A and B are shown apart, each in its own frame.
Chain A
Amino acid sequence: MENKAITCKELTKQFGDFKAVDRISFEVNQGEIFGFLGANGAGKTTAMRILCGLSYPTSGEATVAGFDVYKQQEQIKRNIGYMSQKFSLYDNLTILENIEFYGGVYGVSRPEIKTRSQELVSTLGLEKEAKKLVGELPLGWKQKLAFSVAIFHRPKIVFLDEPTGGVDPLTRRQFWDMIYQAAADGITVFVTTHYMDEAEYCNRITVMVDGRVEALDTPAKLKERFNTHSMDDVFYQLARGAKRSGD
């Protein structure tokens, strides 16, 4: 148990009669890149909210970084990073201010923030832009910066919710280079995406359909099981039968 970044056992979230998440079970290894896929309305967001310590499950068990999703939500929040396509950084703060803000929220010490933000800005090649407002950056740069900020406090796990939506193909790949680097540094990556080629970059993936985990394996084994060469097709075969659809 203690070696797993995330464990879920029969995890369920019910809204009235509606089972948004229906007895899902899986484990994520440390340092793994774990793809969390599913059709719209399959229950991904609900499950992710529970794992991020933002919502209580109705039943079942789950731990994140060794902490319990019922009793230790605050510890979970402190030990994870989170980034989504929709919200990541404050447009009207500068790059350095954003880093400082997030570092501060997560309790990184002032001298640490100072050295690490210099490092970060130079790794990203943003020295000249460091004092510019984030709102002026192109989307691709924003997303790369947002990811760096999400792992600035060196969390054990980072949750990425469609991090590359709308990003150009070149930047999308640079973004995945950063994901690989983070995983190599020992950070567990939990990622959702609508790009099926990105599913291939994950060590293992799950496909959720109607609140349930319908498949969980390496991309290669899933393709073998569904007798196809593309993840697109695996997904299509699994999600085609979905009864619900939504946002």
Chain B
Amino acid sequence: MVKLSGQSPNLMPSVSLKNISKNYGEVKAVDDVSFDVEKGELFGLIGPDGAGKTSIFRILTTLLLADAGSATVEGCDVIKDYRQIRNQVGYMPGRFSLYQDLTVEENLNFFATIFGTTIQENYELIKDIYEQIKPFSNRRAGKLSGGMKQKLALCCALIHKPTVLFLDEPTTGVDVVSRKEFWEMLNQLKKQKISIVVSTPYMDEAKLCDRIALMQGGKIMSVDKPENIVQNFPKTLFAAKAENIYQLLQELRSDAAVESCYAFGEYLHLTMTDDTDNLQKVTDLAANYQHKALEVKKITATIEDSFIRLMREQNLKEGQNGK
């Protein structure tokens, strides 16, 4: 059923983009983006609104034509073989897109039917998720809570047993508890060998993916395993806090010895201009400002630190204010 475009099935990536670009008028929504997603991989597109995540999803699900470049999903070309792709992928758009006036069960039935299957046939795949909303199977989808809508949408995207699943910001605006549950579901699905491409603006979710692409302004800044991205942070990173943390932030930021300084939860994160790894030296520098309850320590970077760093570099390259 699937055309393999001459590649052997084992080596063929599940999703492949080569130099994809998409403009809306003057805005470069997607700017020369290339990456591959391997079979069974959980791949994250990490970036804020306007990074180009949704356009990429729409190009890969054959709902939008790219201006340049090529892309394949399971070996099928997104333009020539769009019919095969549509039968084979599951897509959960960012906006809730089920029928609000149909019940939970009717929605699921509808999606199973248009893909020529039944709920029973693939029930194993959605069982764990569907059982959580089964008590409400006669409720209209529009009357469900946010967390339950999300679970139903995932079931509907899975009911035809797709080999690739595209999830566009499934956890945006969702609270911490539901977010955790959702990622647990994704890990269960991974065990079923489904390739998953998921986007999120939450940097802390990046570490739950096998590999991630950090995106900003239509461009990919880095593609790698989360642990590698963090390891490649080019400078020694320090954390500092004091009673009056906002004042400390302003003082350190205007100190010539400090390269960058920004708030990060209860601490400030800072790198030094000379990139010293000497904790005592940094502590002495901060102590100059005579703060109460000063604490300085050396830390390892997080994905968010890497993202901020890459964004600064990109801004500097484009001549914008990188501060």
Contact = CB atoms under 8 A, between A and B. Distances in A.
A binds B: yes
Interface in B121-158: 145-148
Interface stretch (B42-50, B64-72, B107-115, B225-233): B42-50
B103 interface: no
A169 B146 contact: no
Interface residues of A, number: 40
A139 B315 CA distance: 16
Interface stretch (B11-19, B29-37, B176-184): B176-184
Contacts of B201: 165-167
Given A168-B48, A170-B311, A40 B145 contact: yes
B263 A176 contact: yes
Contact of A41 (B146, B176, B307, B315): B146
A240 B204 CA distance: 19
B139 to A, nearest CB: 12
A101 interface: no
B145 A244 contact: yes
Contacts, number: 95
Interface string B259-292: 0001111100000000000000000000000000
B265 A197 contact: yes
Contact of A169 (B148, B180, B203): B203
B177 A180 contact: no
Contact of A247 (B47, B145, B177, B311): B145
B180 A139 contact: no
Given A236-B180, A242-B177, 20 more contacts: A39-B178, A40-B146, A40-B173, A140-B48, A165-B201, A167-B48, A168-B48, A169-B308, A170-B308, A170-B315, A173-B263, A173-B308, A196-B265, A220-B266, A232-B204, A235-B175, A244-B145, A245-B178, A246-B146, A247-B146
Interface of B: 47-51, 145-148, 172-178, 180, 201-204, 216, 246, 262-266, 304, 307-308, 311-312, 315, 321
27 contacts: A39-B177, A40-B146, A41-B146, A139-B48, A139-B49, A162-B173, A165-B201, A166-B48, A166-B49, A169-B48, A169-B308, A170-B315, A171-B48, A180-B246, A194-B174, A194-B176, A196-B176, A197-B264, A201-B263, A231-B265, A232-B204, A235-B176, A239-B176, A245-B148, A245-B175, A246-B146, A247-B145
